[in-house]
């Protein structure tokens, strides 16, 4: 990634890699087969590029994301793929001039949705992640209860996130099959047209669902890059080299992006230098990343104070949430800016 002069830390997107990712997914899962998940990128400007590629349904993790998408004219079919009991936010979503569906997994979430005027729900089924979702055996009863209180039950959803990061494709496929056996069994008793699930890591392995909830494919990150997917890392955090020193006889460098600019739950970022060299990241602190050159690197890779370096985050979603905008680059030239307008709750 060629970096122009930027105020750092800056979240940058390589336009060529991004549009490659968009077209690759649109070819594999056209139109409604992919329901892009806006939690990964949190930007209505970016979402509009996906709509232009043929995806008109979106899912989200927060009511703020749902409301922002609707206000941006992207409300043809919005799914809150998450439970909420917040009466104010549920009522605000119900009042939107948009088609909004909400995930429910209990009598309490069903009652809250009905009281707020939500029209439609999906029964969220726990398929092994140990996050939200009802026991598969309880899905039919919950669907009956939702219909009893006047909600349209569009179908089921279940997220096999516990297998998503497995680098072994065969193991990933076996995990998906087990998880989807539970979801399809629940769907048989729930009914409806929608079976929603999957993600970037299983987009080409999950053949049981009617739609895939993928978002990270648009920008990619270090964790998914290990899975052998056909998507390119389009996202980086640009940072400026501020300082250098030595410790135990080894030279190190410090740049101005740290824990407050990078999602670290999936591990350290990778750091790219000139001449195709990847540095060894030692650690990140609040505002800084400390790194060193590989022992066999060329002198051309050695950065000077004031140089820009590119940090590839291990997890795109929380990284994006730290920033206010994407700076979009093509061959080192700024061609656009996309506001990250769906941050927060």
Q: Domain with 244 in it: what CATH number?
A: 2.40.37.20
Mean pLDDT is lowest, of 88-97, 104-113, 136-145, 289-298, for 289-298
Last residue of a domain, one of 213, 248, 282: 213
Residue located via tokens 């709750």? 345
CA separation for the pair 341, 334 (Å, rounded): 20
Q: Cβ atoms within 10 A of the Cβ of 140, count?
A: 17
Is residue 6 assigned to a domain? no
Q: Count the domains in the chain.
A: 2
Is residue 9 assigned to a domain? no
Is residue 39 assigned to a domain? yes
Give me the torsion for CA of 187, 191, 192, 193, rounded to 10°: 50
What confidence tier does 96 reach under pLDDT thresholds 50, 70, 90?
very high
Q: Say yes or no: 137 and 245 in one domain.
A: no
CA separation for the pair 17, 230 (Å, rounded): 11
Please determine, for residue 192, whether its predicted confidence score (pLDDT) is greater than 80.
yes
pLDDT, one tens digit per residue, over 12-24 is: 999 999 999 999 9
pLDDT, one tens digit per residue, over 63-73 is: 999 999 999 99
Last residue of a domain, one of 185, 213, 241: 213
| CA 113-116-121 angle, 5° bins | 30
What confidence tier does 29 reach under pLDDT thresholds 50, 70, 90?
very high
What number of residues does the chain have?
345
Please determine, for residue 295, whether its predicted confidence score (pLDDT) is greater than 90.
no
Residue located via tokens 């400390």? 290
Q: Say yes or no: 208 and 122 in one domain.
A: yes
Q: Say yes or no: 197 and 151 in one domain.
A: yes
CATH of the domain at 39: 3.20.20.10
Give 310's contacts (C-beta < 8 A, 6+ positions apart).
1, 3, 12, 236, 237, 238, 239, 271, 272
CA separation for the pair 194, 176 (Å, rounded): 18
Domain that holds residue 76: 30-213
Is residue 1 assigned to a domain? no
Q: Say yes or no: 52 and 199 in one domain.
A: yes
Q: Say yes or no: 173 and 60 in one domain.
A: yes
Q: Say yes or no: 38 and 177 in one domain.
A: yes
Is residue 312 assigned to a domain? yes
pLDDT on residue 4: 87
Q: Say yes or no: 327 and 246 in one domain.
A: yes
Q: Say yes or no: 58 and 175 in one domain.
A: yes
CA separation for the pair 314, 213 (Å, rounded): 20
DSSP H helical segments within the chain, as ranges?
Answer: 15-28, 44-52, 63-71, 87-94, 107-116, 139-148, 161-164, 169-190, 222-225, 316-321
Q: Say yes or no: 52 and 190 in one domain.
A: yes
Report the mean per-residue pLDDT for the chain: 96
Q: Say yes or no: 163 and 304 in one domain.
A: no
Q: How far apart are the first and last CA of the chain?
A: 32
What confidence tier does 275 reach under pLDDT thresholds 50, 70, 90?
low
pLDDT, one tens digit per residue, over 142-167 is: 999 999 999 999 999 999 999 998 88
Q: Are strands 308-312 and 325-330 parallel, antiparallel or unpaired?
A: unpaired
Last residue of a domain, one of 182, 213, 244: 213
Q: What is the mean pLDDT of residues 175-199?
A: 98
pLDDT, one tens digit per residue, over 32-43 is: 999 999 999 999
Q: Say yes or no: 189 and 252 in one domain.
A: no
Tell me which residue of 94, 150, 145 sits closest to 123, measured CA to CA: 145
What confidence tier does 94 reach under pLDDT thresholds 50, 70, 90?
very high
Burial of 282 (0-12, 13-18, 19+ CB in 10 A): middle
What confidence tier does 274 reach under pLDDT thresholds 50, 70, 90?
confident
Would you list the DSSP string of 1-22?
A: ----S--SSEEEEEHHHHHHHH
Q: What is the mean pLDDT of residues 129-152?
A: 98
3-class secondary structure, 46: helix
Q: Are strands 289-292 and 235-247 parallel, antiparallel or unpaired?
A: unpaired
Q: Say yes or no: 159 and 189 in one domain.
A: yes
């Amino acid at each position: 990634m060629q970096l122009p002069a930027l105020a750092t830390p800056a979240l940058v997107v390589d336009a060529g890699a991004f549009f490659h990712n968009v077209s690759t997914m649109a070819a594999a899962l056209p139109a409604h087969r992919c329901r892009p998940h806006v939690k990964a990128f949190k930007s209505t400007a970016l979402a509009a590029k996906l709509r232009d590629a043929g995806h008109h349904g979106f899912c989200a993790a927060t009511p703020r994301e749902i409301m922002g998408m609707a206000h941006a004219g992207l409300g043809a079919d919005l799914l809150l793929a998450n439970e909420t009991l917040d009466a104010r936010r549920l009522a605000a979503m119900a009042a939107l001039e948009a088609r909004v569906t909400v995930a429910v997994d209990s009598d309490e979430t069903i009652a809250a949705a009905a009281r707020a005027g939500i029209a439609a729900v999906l029964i969220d089924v726990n398929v092994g992640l140990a996050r939200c979702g009802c026991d598969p055996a309880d899905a039919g009863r919950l669907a009956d209860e939702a219909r009893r209180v006047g909600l349209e039950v569009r179908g089921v959803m279940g997220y096999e996130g516990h297998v998503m990061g497995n680098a072994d494709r065969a193991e990933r496929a076996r995990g998906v099959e087990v998880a989807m056996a539970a979801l399809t069994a629940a769907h048989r008793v729930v009914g409806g047209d929608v079976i929603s699930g999957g993600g970037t890591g299983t987009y080409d392995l999950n053949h049981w669902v009617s739609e895939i909830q993928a978002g990270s494919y648009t920008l990619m990150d270090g964790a998914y890059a290990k899975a052998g997917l056909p998507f390119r890392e389009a996202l980086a955090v640009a940072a400026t080299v501020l300082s250098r020193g030595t410790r135990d006889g080894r030279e190190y460098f410090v740049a101005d992006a740290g824990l407050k600019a990078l999602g670290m739950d999936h591990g350290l970022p990778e750091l790219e230098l000139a001449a195709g060299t990847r540095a060894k990241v030692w650690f990140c602190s609040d505002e800084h990343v400390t790194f060193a050159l590989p022992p066999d690197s060329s002198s051309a890779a050695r950065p000077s104070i004031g140089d820009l370096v590119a940090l590839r985050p291990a997890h795109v979603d929380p990284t994006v949430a730290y920033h206010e905008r994407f700076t979009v680059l093509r061959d080192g030239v700024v061609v656009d800016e996309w506001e990250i307008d769906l941050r927060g709750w």
